[in-house]
Amino acid sequence: MAQTNVNIRMDENLKQQFDHLCNELGLTMSTAFNVFAKTMVRQQRIPFEIALDIPNAETLAAMEDVNNGRNLSRPFHSVAELMEDLNA
């Protein structure tokens, strides 16, 4: 099968991290991208979930409390002081 070149752009730091991981796994970056492409073609989808990290209702309520200064604990000056309050 004939080979072709594909050029992509990515952050230099990401490239270095990706190259290091590929080396640790015994792969080249080219092999890793080929595995990704073949899996995508075979499955006819991106082979992992892409989703927004949307906070649930409890987290949204906690964020609102913090923004409005509600339901906050007092400050602690040591772990021992925090543990004493938690165990009370």
- 88 residues of the chain, pLDDT tens digit each: 899 999 999 999 999 999 999 999 999 999 999 999 999 999 999 999 888 888 999 999 999 999 998 988 888 999 999 999 999 8
Global pTM value: 0.57
User: What's the distance, Cα to Cα, between the start and end of the chain in Å?
Assistant: 71
Report the distance separating Cα 35 and Cα 26, nearest Å. Answer: 13
Find all residues with CB under 8 Å of 85, minimum gap 6, and list them: 73, 74, 76
Computed on alpha carbons and rounded to an integer, the radius of gyration of the chain in Å comes to: 24
Secondary structure (3-state) at 65: helix
